[in-house]
Amino acid sequence: MARISSFKSCLGALALASLSLIASRAAQADATLNRIKGRQKLTVGIILSGAPFGYIDPQSRAEKGFNIDLARALAEKLGVKVELVTVTPPNRVQFLQQGKVDILIANMQFTEDRAKIMDHVQTPYDRAGGAALGRKDSGIKDWADLKGKPVCISQGSNYAQPLADTYGAAVKGIPSQPESMLALQGGNCVVAVHVAPTIKLLLADRPNEWKDYAVIIPTELEPADSVIWLRKGERDTGAALDAAVRDLHASGAMLEMAKANRLVDPTFIEEARRTYAAPAKP
Amino acid sequence: MIDHAVRTFIALAGEIGLHYDFLASPSEVRPWIAGMGTTLLLILLAIPLSLAAGVAFAAALTSGRPWLAGPVRTYVELTRNTPTLVQLMFAFFALNMLLSKALGGAANNPFTPFFWVVAVTGLHIAAFHAEALRGGIEAVPAAMVETAHAIGFSGFEVLRYVTLPLALRTAMPAIVNNLVNLVKLTTIGSAIAVGEVTYASIMIWTQRDNVLELMIVILLFFGLINTALSQIGRYVERRLAVPGYGV
């Protein structure tokens, strides 16, 4: 009897969950662009994982960073105001699917798994890979040296799978990057792997605190395109944003934003500028 | 056979918009199943620790010796009044780091994140057990304690044979409550990368963004454990009941 009732409640939960999913998906059928225009507002889900991408400015208490500047620039291109919603790895996709945000600029690189449940703006705004921060005397020189060693990442990073599957590292997912850095300093892992620009900026900004540490593996892990994510099937929104992103690349505005936010190595954006600024064939 | 069942389930769930595709990937399923095992192991270790420490704390609190009751009272208040997550972070990032330094490097530090989760959750809940038991001990009629002393019981014997057995019966519902909380509390292990079931789920949903699907499983998992736990609690309560004593 108990077994039957628990099975029923399980079914009930599933049915409820699926109903809400279907309802939320049906209600948004490709209407995002109309909604953005109608409300005169672009709602962007951003992640505040640290400089240079997204952080709270200690003085003004306002959100700052490259992702935030990009959100503002896109809204300006569409001729609407911007509304920022802070998201976290566990809630970002739900926020998008439930319509709480129109798009996500949340440090989410392109992966096949993500492309199954969401659409993305074709033109990437940046390209980022993982850098390994570790003690200079750790003796680690290559990703393969991490086999069996504890490696700290932040929960929500895409590096867990390649580190564990390809290199056999013992991956430890710590809630966020600052805590992962603390775990590295405490000796709980041999290296911490995070998006390269954040690590390079940290080393540049706090040379004293990190004098025994460096990016000890010369190559980057899994460099992938950083793209803007939107709900499945929203072609019009995707096309409008794609044009805006190309425009930002071509005009050099993207590069300016990168420099203003001190992205230490904006090679990709520089290349993108040359690509998109090339005059189209008549 | 199992393979086939899993694939059928994935397809069925896909029909209603739930993505359980990860079940077909052994490299993701293995740590996830191991996560369930780790949660159970955490629970199995933390429950006895909390009970033993709880009884010791309660004995100290009701001992009538200020040098014993004072420090324990301070500990109980401090533990009850601060968030467990903060305690765990403090233990792991501050205490553990200091320990590593004192022992000459992290390599010599025998305390794993797993140890800290068991210690912090077990000792946290022990403070709640102690208060529940203290209430029970103080509820034993003074005349009964006096009688025990009069027939030659020492202070410890009074506790062991008279007050504690009765207090345990009065405090049983509160203790089971605390244990149910302890089971749920083990999920904070995810904050310091202990591979219990929520951590394992986080690592999957950050790759696949199937939060809802995994949340459903986690809810059912903890629901089942705690249903079993409260059934056991109720059974023990019935077994221990003293006819006519009212508990």
Q: For A24-44, write each residue's pLDDT tens digit.
A: 444 443 578 888 888 889 999
Tokens for B164, please give them.
Answer: 């504690």
Average pLDDT over residues A125-135: 92
Cα distance between residue B122 and residue B45, in whole Å: 8
Q: Any residues with CB less than 8 A from the CB of A201 and at least 6 apart, and which?
A: A51, A52, A262, A264
Q: Which of A256, A255, A229, A264 has the alpha carbon at shortest distance from A131?
A: A264
Q: Is the pLDDT of residue A281 over 80?
A: no
Highest mean pLDDT, choosing among A3-7, A264-268, B19-23, B218-222 = B218-222
- Contact check, Cβ <8 Å, B93/A183: yes
Q: If pLDDT is split at 50, 70 and 90, which confidence band does A3 have? A: very low
- Contact check, Cβ <8 Å, B109/A15: no
Average pLDDT over residues B155-182: 94
- Least confident residue range of A1-10, A126-135, B130-139: A1-10
Cβ atoms B206, A157 nearer than 8 A: yes
Which comes out higher in pLDDT, residue B225 or A262? B225
Three-state SS string across A184-196, please? HHCCCCCEEEEEH
Q: Is the pLDDT of residue A206 over 70?
A: yes
Which comes out higher in pLDDT, residue A40 or B51? B51
- Least confident residue range of A175-179, B104-108, B180-184: B104-108
Cβ of residue B106 closer than 8 Å to a chain A Cβ: yes
* pTM score over 0.90: no
Q: Is the pLDDT of residue A5 over 80?
A: no
Cα distance between residue A92 and residue B17, in whole Å: 18
Cis bond upstream, residue A52 (ω within 30): yes
CA geometry: angle at B189 spanning B219 and B47, to 5°? 80
Which comes out higher in pLDDT, residue A25 or A126? A126
- Contact check, Cβ <8 Å, B107/A89: no
Task: Tell me the pLDDT of chain B averaged across its residues.
Answer: 92
Tokens for B62, please give them.
Answer: 């009701």
Q: Is the pLDDT of residue A6 over 90?
A: no
Cβ atoms A231, B209 nearer than 8 A: no
Task: Tell me the pLDDT of chain A averaged across its residues.
Answer: 85
DSSP type of residue A147: T
The reported pLDDT for the residue numbered B246 is 63
Q: If pLDDT is split at 50, 70 and 90, which confidence band does A11 have? A: low
Cα distance between residue B17 and residue B75, in whole Å: 49
Q: If pLDDT is split at 50, 70 and 90, which confidence band does A20 have? A: low
Cβ of residue B212 closer than 8 Å to a chain A Cβ: yes
Strands A150-154 and A170-174: what pairing? parallel
In chain A, % of residues over pLDDT 90: 41
pLDDT tens-digit map of B192-212: 989 999 999 988 888 787 888
- Least confident residue range of A245-254, B95-104, B143-152, B184-193: B95-104
Cα distance between residue A89 and residue A116, in whole Å: 17
ipTM over 0.90: no
Mutation site for B-interface testing, chosen from A16, A21, A117, A155 by largest number of B Cβ within 10 Å? A155
Mutation site for A-interface testing, chosen from B19, B89, B206 by largest number of A Cβ within 10 Å? B206
Average pLDDT over residues B2-11: 90
Q: Is the pLDDT of residue A7 over 70?
A: no
Average pLDDT over residues A171-183: 88
In chain A, % of residues over pLDDT 70: 88
Cα A182 vs. chain centroid, distance in angstroms?
Answer: 22
Distance between A51 CA and the closest CA of chain B, angstroms: 21
Q: Is the pLDDT of residue B39 over 90?
A: yes
Query: At A82, phi and psi to the nearest 5?
Result: -110, 145
Cβ atoms B41, B188 nearer than 8 A: no
Partners of residue A42 on adjacent β-strands: A82
Mutation site for B-interface testing, chosen from A188, A222, A229 by largest number of B Cβ within 10 Å? A188
Distances (CA, A) of B61 to A64, A176, B57, B103: 52, 40, 6, 34
- Contact check, Cβ <8 Å, B205/A173: no
Q: Which of A193, A185, A141 has the alpha carbon at shortest distance from A163?
A: A193
Cβ of residue B16 closer than 8 Å to a chain A Cβ: yes
Residues of A in contact with B191 (CB under 8 A): 174-175, 179
- Contact check, Cβ <8 Å, B18/A17: yes
